[in-house]
Amino acid sequence: MPAPQASVMQNLAKLKFISFATKLPTDWKQPQGEAGKQYTRAFSPSELVGIPPVPPMFVPSSVNKYHTDTAKKIGDQFATYIDGICSAICSAWSQWQSTAVMTGVMVNAVTATLGQVVGPPWLPLIMASAPKSTPGELRYSNAIANAISNGWMAYQATIKVPGLPWYPAFAAFPGPMAPPIPNVPCPVAALTQVETSISKSALANAMAGLLGDPQALHHKQLFESVAEAFEQCFMLWKVSTMVTNVLGTGPIPTFAPPYVPVGPVVGGTGNMPPGGFV
CA dihedral 206, 208, 211, 216 (to 10 degrees): 170
Is 189 contained in some domain? yes
Query: Which amino acid, 6?
Result: A
Give the closest residue to 272 by CA, choosing from 191, 190, 199, 181: 181
**Residue at 236 is within a domain:** yes
Q: Which of 2-11, 30-39, 139-148, 167-176 comes out lowest in average pLDDT?
A: 30-39
Q: What is the CA radius of gyration of the chain?
A: 27
> Which spans in the chain are helix H?
6-19, 33-41, 45-48, 65-99, 123-127, 135-156, 200-211, 219-240
Whether 254 maps to a domain, the answer reads: yes
Residue 42 has pLDDT above 90, yes or no: no
Give how far Cα 257 sits from Cα of 34, 169, 178, 263, Å: 105, 18, 15, 10
Q: What is the pLDDT of the chain when averaged over all its residues?
A: 93
Confidence band, pLDDT 50/70/90 cuts, at residue 47: low
Is residue 278 situated within a structural domain?
Answer: no
Query: What's the mean pLDDT in 173-190?
Result: 97
Find how far residue 186's CA is from the centre of its chain. 21
Q: Is the pLDDT of residue 197 over 90?
A: yes
Measured distance CA(192)–CA(196) in Å, rounded = 13
Decide: helix, strand or coil at residue 23.
strand
pLDDT score at 30: 74
Question: Rounded to whole angstroms, what are the CA distances from 207 to 14, 78, 146, 226?
Answer: 17, 17, 8, 10
Residue 1 inside a domain? The answer is no
Which residues pair with residue 170 across a beta bridge? Answer: none
pLDDT of residue 54: 76
The pLDDT of 205-216, averaged and rounded, is 96
Looking at residue 185, its amino acid is P
Residue 234 lies in a domain: yes
Total count of domains within the chain: 1
Query: Would residue 12 count as lying in a domain?
Result: yes
Read off the pLDDT of residues 16-35 as tens digits, 9 standing for 90 and up.
999 999 998 777 677 677 76
Is 89 among the domain residues? yes
- Mean pLDDT, to the nearest integer, of 121-132? 98
- The residue segments making up the domain with residue 132 are 6-272
Residue 226 has pLDDT above 70, yes or no: yes
% of the chain surpassing 70 pLDDT:
94
Q: How many CA atoms lie within 13 A of 199 on its CB side?
A: 8
Residue 103 has φ and ψ, to the nearest 5°, of -130, 160
Give the tens place of pLDDT for each residue, 79-92: 999 999 999 999 99
What is the DSSP secondary structure assignment for residue 189, as one 8-state letter?
Answer: G
User: What is the mean predicted confidence (pLDDT) over 240-258?
Assistant: 96
